[in-house]
Structure 1
Amino acid sequence: MIRIRLLAATFCLLASSAAFAADLPRARPEEVGMSNERLARIGEVLKADIDAGRIPGAVVAIARHGRLVMFEAYGWRDKAAGVAMTTDTIFNIASMTKPMTTVGALMLYERGQLLIGDPLSKYFPKFANMRVAARDASGEPTAETVAADRQITVQDLMRHTSGIIYGGRGNTLVHKMVPAGSGDASREYDGVAFLDKLASAPLLYQPATVWDYGFGLDLLGLTIEKISGQTLEQYLKANVFTPLGMKDTGFSISPDQAARYAKPLPVDPDTGKPQARSPELTQPLKFECGGGCAASTASDYLQFAMMLMNEGRNGEARLLGPRTVAYMLSDQLGPHIRNLIGNADPTRADYGFGLGLAVRTTPGVVKMMGSVGQFSWPGASGTDWWADPKQELAVVYMSAAPGPVRWHYRQKINALVYQAIVD
């Protein structure tokens, strides 16, 4: 029985690798300035950590100079059931949903249906007269409120400067008035109730004054639905997923896909607390949250990353114009905006932020290697990706490891990939 299962897993691995390779030409590492010997360290490190029970498994996809140099699966898709990882495994990607939602909105921007400076209240009038938590002498928010200095704009939603924060990332009175995060909101509220909940709570900050992680991209997703007359999944499937060949990306897991859906370890290796998929996408969401509710595969997401690195085009599909992509990937935080990115993700501390994703603005200072212009935004379920246009490098790392250990692997995979570049 075990032999049959392993043979089936091997067949799936070969089939999915072949299908992906047909879309993206393969190269030996040395042909694109990478060392095969050094690249092999990724597998050695991951296998040792999987054996030590640190993560269940992982899939790594690396492309350089437009050619695939690594596409490998390690460990277990479902360790408890003894199911091996394969390259076509589907993962919850959490906040890696955000850049895809942003691209969807920018496509409306290019069609003249949306403006970056549009107030959110243009689409949802209940956000027209928002209140902001007043501060006491020590700067802490109080139960008192003051009027917002200006309205929340689409740009604020895209760059996390709306003042609408995730409730699970603080203990203030404002945090306690809103859902913990995107996944929690999608399980508890439908779109209308979610909008009512956020519009009735005060903002934690005046708009456009502080970068703080929150529901901006979920609100952007609902704005896309309002403009397009489609659900977010319908819109993104027609305009992003299908054109890029992202056949396993969406906001639900079908019965046919369920066997390929990755599970985390039952218990977090650091905290000892139980772990489960969140959200559980085999069950319907109450609304398709653009901030964190999609699932995808490493090969699908690599197509998306390469589209952005190639200035809006991947193969025959052009989603955005080059100037729009350049604007998306430019730092949108001026000197007047307080940057709290490091509170949301310590590995992205000292990055700037574009529209829907982090952008690197300095060759040093930050905790990881990369070039100025590198862009990324990882997922709380244990997934990560980045693209480095200067190096013509795109990397996707997928693992069902949602605990604090995910920050460790973001740094570790970054180091292992860059040390393999030898030109």
Structure 2
Amino acid sequence: MSVCKVEVDPAELGFDAARLSRIDSHFAKYVDDGRLAGWSLAVARRGRPAHVAHYGRRDVEADLPVTDDTVWRIYSMTKPITSVAALMLWEEGLLELTDPVSRYIPSFADMRVYTGGSAANPGTVPATEPVRIWHLLTHTAGLTYGFHHAHAVDEMYRAKGHEFGAPRGQDLAAACDVWASLPLLFQPGTEWNYGVNTDVLGRVVEVASGQSLDVFFQERIFDPLGMVDTGFQARDVSRLATLYLPKPGGGLVRSAAMGDAITAEPAMLSGGGGLASTLYDYHRFTQMLAGGGELDGVRLLGPRTLAYATRNHLPGNADLQTFGRPIFAESTYLGTGFGLGFSVVVDPAAGKQLQSPGEYGWGGLASTTFTVFPEEDLTVVFLTQLMPSSTYPIRPQLRTLVSQAVVS
């Protein structure tokens, strides 16, 4: 599938072409000096592609270039897709945001909350209310990730084999039971912490719909949107980009252990980070979002549902700086809240980035990112393969470079 072709003068869409070219020249330097292997970019406005670019290599060692159809691991950019799936079921009356998760996953009944002590001997108290669907969508359930290395409960996840992914052979239902057996970091709804929330949400989608997550995605999202190369397994390995880590002292080193995982059929269908995709496919997804839930006559969500999901749902309209735990996340904390599956800008001045109120999006572990700019009717998708995403300030730089190119 060829990526969307740019057949319009950027000026027709309110861009200064010379300013748009700054994006390419800036990120070309990342490749030329060895910080990134390669990247793909799509900027669209008013439903039309304004700028599409590729640069560098999808595989440095094999000297293979980035192409229109390069396949990328999108990791946590899977989360908005899973969130959309849950919102679709909400619209159909198959679940409610206030439903206890235990209605779909019985092991989530009678959860306990960490109060102190070591990973081997934690103190806990009963949860004062159930973990609910909206807690999963907003990352306020008290769940965590083993890779944070910031808390005793993180260590407990790692002890169960959950750091990046699940133990070999463990499916999603079994993984959810493991997470439910461990204490929550805090009482549900009282804080924000990035964790396996969306993986659990994926299991809720399975139970509520009666379909496995891969089948639901394929039949209800990917096929309708024409996302032909997105899935839990990269079947055409010849088009797959290599996953890299920064090498101490400069340059890149392949991450074969994690990188090869996407080439095999997974036991656990990770709604939180398991998909691979292409620039064309994820561009299609963002166009559906920008279109209020509809693209090319296919409607996945109603516009009121999407508007509701992309407002800040943190209590008191708080941002992540005040409501979140000081750990790694796919977004800045200052001035950024969180909706039902997306980060949402609530105070651009606080974040000290060139933003507008209501911008929403998310990113992935390998430095991928997307943003929808409702005020500007604009979307951007940037795909690369460098882990972790906190290595370089790609996201704020991209946001600034895109925004400064809009002149009308």
TM over 0.5, shorter chain:
yes
The structure 1 residue matched to 2:266, chosen from 277, 285, 302, is 285
Shift of residue 266, structure 1, vs aligned partner: 6.2
Shift of residue 173, structure 1, vs aligned partner: 2.2
Give me the whole-angstrom Cα distance separating, in 2, the residues matched to 1:250 and 1:49: 28
The structure 1 residue matched to 2:106, chosen from 101, 105, 125, is 125
Shift of residue 192, structure 1, vs aligned partner: 3.3
Give me the whole-angstrom Cα distance separating, in 1, the residues matched to 2:220 and 2:249: 40
CA deviation digits over 1:392-412, x for unaligned, max 9? 110000001113555411122
Give me the whole-angstrom Cα distance separating, in 2, the residues matched to 1:74 and 1:272: 17
Question: Helix, strand or coil for the counterpart of 1:210?
Answer: coil
Give me the whole-angstrom Cα distance separating, in 2, the residues matched to 1:364 and 1:345: 20
Aligned position for 1:395? 380
Question: Helix, strand or coil for the counterpart of 1:75?
Answer: strand
Aligned position for 2:353? 368
The structure 1 residue matched to 2:122, chosen from 143, 147, 160, is 143
The structure 2 residue matched to 1:62, chosen from 43, 47, 50, is 43
Aligned position for 1:167? 146
Give me the whole-angstrom Cα distance separating, in 1, the residues matched to 2:382 and 2:403: 14
1:16 aligned to 2:20?
A: no
Cα contact 2:232–2:275 (8 A) shared by 1: yes
CA deviation digits over 1:288-337, x for unaligned, max 9? 11001111111211111121121111111100011111111111101397
Shift of residue 113, structure 1, vs aligned partner: 0.6
Pairs within 5 Å for 1:106-121: 106-121=87-102
Give me the whole-angstrom Cα distance separating, in 1, the residues matched to 2:55 and 2:317: 45
Task: Assess, with a 3 A threshold, how the Cα gap between structure 1 residues 160 and 187 changes in structure 2: closer, same or farther.
Answer: farther
1:194 aligned to 2:175?
A: yes
Aligned position for 1:103? 84
Give me the whole-angstrom Cα distance separating, in 2, the residues matched to 1:161 and 1:141: 24
Aligned position for 2:309? 328
Give me the whole-angstrom Cα distance separating, in 1, the residues matched to 2:281 and 2:291: 16
Aligned position for 2:211? 230
TM-score, normalization by structure 1:
0.89
Aligned position for 2:240? 261
Letter in 2 for 1:64: R
Question: Helix, strand or coil for the counterpart of 2:349?
Answer: coil
Aligned length, in residue pairs: 399
Give me the whole-angstrom Cα distance separating, in 2, the residues matched to 1:273 and 1:187: 28
Letter in 1 for 2:188: P
Over the residues paired in the alignment, what is the CA RMSD in angstroms? 2.3
Question: Helix, strand or coil for the counterpart of 1:281?
Answer: helix
Task: Assess, with a 3 A threshold, how the Cα gap between structure 1 residues 167 and 57 changes in structure 2: closer, same or farther.
Answer: same
The structure 1 residue matched to 2:396, chosen from 394, 403, 411, is 411
Letter in 2 for 1:223: V
Aligned position for 1:349? 333
Give me the whole-angstrom Cα distance separating, in 1, the residues matched to 2:72 and 2:249: 21
Letter in 2 for 1:161: T
Letter in 2 for 1:124: I
Question: Helix, strand or coil for the counterpart of 1:250?
Answer: coil
Cα contact 1:94–1:381 (8 A) shared by 2: yes
CA deviation digits over 1:89-135, x for unaligned, max 9? 11000100000001011111111111111101001111110111114
Letter in 2 for 1:299: Y
Cα contact 1:142–1:173 (8 A) shared by 2: no
Letter in 2 for 1:345: A
1:295 aligned to 2:276?
A: yes
TM-score, normalization by structure 2:
0.92
**Range 336-345 or range 143-152, more displaced:** 336-345
Shift of residue 419, structure 1, vs aligned partner: 1.5
Question: Helix, strand or coil for the counterpart of 1:63?
Answer: strand
Aligned position for 1:4? none
Give me the whole-angstrom Cα distance separating, in 1, the residues matched to 2:380 and 2:341: 18
Shift of residue 201, structure 1, vs aligned partner: 0.7
Give me the whole-angstrom Cα distance separating, in 1, the residues matched to 2:391 and 2:8: 29
Shift of residue 251, structure 1, vs aligned partner: 0.7
Give me the whole-angstrom Cα distance separating, in 2, the residues matched to 1:251 and 1:125: 26
1:152 aligned to 2:102?
A: no
Give me the whole-angstrom Cα distance separating, in 1, the residues matched to 2:327 and 2:84: 25
Percent identity over the alignment is 36
Aligned position for 1:207? 188
1:79 aligned to 2:60?
A: yes
Shift of residue 77, structure 1, vs aligned partner: 0.7
Give me the whole-angstrom Cα distance separating, in 1, the residues matched to 2:306 and 2:25: 36
Question: Helix, strand or coil for the counterpart of 2:166?
Answer: helix
The structure 1 residue matched to 2:32, chosen from 34, 51, 54, is 51
**Range 115-124 or range 270-279, more displaced:** 270-279
Shift of residue 51, structure 1, vs aligned partner: 1.3
Shift of residue 196, structure 1, vs aligned partner: 2.3
